[in-house]
Structure 1
């Protein structure tokens, strides 16, 4: 299965609770942290919800 790398580029402080929980569910805690996840529709949906705080790295 293909994987994608997700990087947290903006702080979730002051953002809606659902977005903060999505960032936590993606495994991101610190700005600049990169996690590698399986490329599934569920993960893509989570990224779409918080796309202003994360960056997808190729």
Structure 2
């Protein structure tokens, strides 16, 4: 399992939607989707924020 797949699995287990992360980072949903599907790259800054959001996310 790749690192991308591991992060996507963590995101889905916490029931985090891409729109939530996209708003937090300030990027498009499609960018995150394409990154998770391994069809594009994102900047280190955006990747760090993506991971940070998943790590600190607490559901309501």
Structure-2-length-normalised TM-score: 0.35
Q: Which is helix-richer, 1 or 2?
A: 2
Q: Which has the higher contact order (CA 8 A, sep 6+)?
A: 1
Q: Which is strand-richer, 1 or 2?
A: 1
Structure-1-length-normalised TM-score: 0.36
